[in-house]
Structure 1
């Protein structure tokens, strides 16, 4: 499958995310086995899976509001703290309504 055939949600993922998905599938979705593979605790793997789920959901919302999706993605990736992200999104939406 060429890159041009990848769905948008998949094309937006990092190589590390794709590796995680592959290992997850090969371990039949066992978070316990994933924790063992990565040498981390179950809650750590669960958190990583939750963040990956958020990234995929955000990529689906990106078409509707690309700016909001970008801010949320930065927060999910820990590149922007949650409170700042919330403030930016709230202000953006307020200004958008006022326009």
Structure 2
């Protein structure tokens, strides 16, 4: 990991994140890293805040690698967050799509 000096937020991987992700990172730090306290502050359940944080982590990793987030994963995460899809259902859909993509690449 590199901690090179950067002049602006736009020069930093955090500058690639949407405002809502930056806000949750700030709140997480202010709550001393406690996801339980963060969930309480946002008025959501622990699993919901865990999913949101997982999405932030995925976006950060993509940004570090110079990639854009996967739009399918983004959509599935939003549906789970809004309670429109279970996390198990989202994983099943994601896995099915990955298998489909792998099979189409083989042909």
TM-score per shorter chain, which class?
Answer: 0.5 to 0.7
Higher RCO, 1 vs 2 (CA within 8 Å, ≥6 residues apart): 1
Question: How far is 1:73 from its partner?
Answer: 2.9
Instruction: Please tell me whether residue 52 in structure 1 is matched to residue 42 in structure 2.
Output: no
SS at match of 2:75: coil
Tell me whether 1:35 sits opposite 2:39 in the alignment.
yes
User: Which structure 1 residue ranges, 5 or more long, are not aligned?
Assistant: 63-68, 95-99
What is the root-mean-square deviation in Å for CA atoms of aligned residues? 2.7
CA–CA separation in structure 1 for the residues paired with 2:70 and 2:16 = 11
Distance 1:45 1:61 in 2: 24
TM-score for the superposition, normalised by structure 2:
0.61
Count of equivalent residues? 83
Q: 2:8 aligns with which of 2, 11, 23?
A: 2
Which residue of 1 is the match for residue 70 of structure 2?
A: 73
Deviations 1:14-73 (A, max 9, x none): 0010000000000000001011001000010111111111111111222xxxxxx33x43
Distance 2:61 2:8 in 1: 23
1:26 is matched with: 30
